[in-house]
Amino acid sequence: MKRLRQKGVCDESKCRYPTASKKEEAMDVSSQQPADEAFETAQPYRIWHYEPLNEKRSPAEKDELAKKDADEASKIKDEEGNALNDKLCKAISEGHPVQFGINYYHKAPDHQLKQIETRKGKKWPLVQLTCRHEKPPAKCGKHAALAIVYDEYSVICQTSYGAD
């Protein structure tokens, strides 16, 4: 969000991103800085305000939570997750864009990671993770998405991964 406020977003024609099927090309593009023209055309399309839906924990709060037993810590995090979900739904219903980041599967078994990379059947495989409340490693991959609509069961997101 900081970058959207500082730099803005340009038209895709100024900074093409390859389709998901062209993995090597996507890696090359994402490791290079866009041309100056992309930055220039992005300037008028900057956001002027953003705010987080959830509060970040202070180091002291993180330490305190780490001292709790796993069941109690999970209960606290579930309550926070429910409160965050309520805020997310409220923001969407009020017409505010909700952009968020997700971590890639970082502890999935190797055969599931291969499926994720190749996207066999063109659908993302479901991966059951028992580590949902664990902090991901520093080198964990991330991806941005935009929450656009919700119902009582799910939130529909727009992402650059394509229709599949």
pLDDT digits (tens, 9 = 90+) for 50-103: 888 887 888 888 888 888 888 888 898 889 888 988 999 999 999 988 888 776
The DSSP annotation for the chain comes to -HHHHHT----GGGS----TT-HHHHHHHHTSPPPHHHHHHHGGG--S----SSPPPPHHHHHHHHHS-HHHHHHHHHHHHHHHHHHHHHHHHTT--EEEEEE--SS--HHHHHHHHHTGGGSPPP---S-TTSPPPTT--EEEEEEEEE-SS-EEEE-TT---
- For the chain, the structural domain boundaries read 1-50
Claim: this prediction has a pTM higher than 0.85:
no
Give the pLDDT confidence score for residue 59 in this predicted structure: 84
Q: Please report which confidence band the pLDDT of residue 33 belongs to, taking 50, 70 and 90 as the band edges.
A: confident
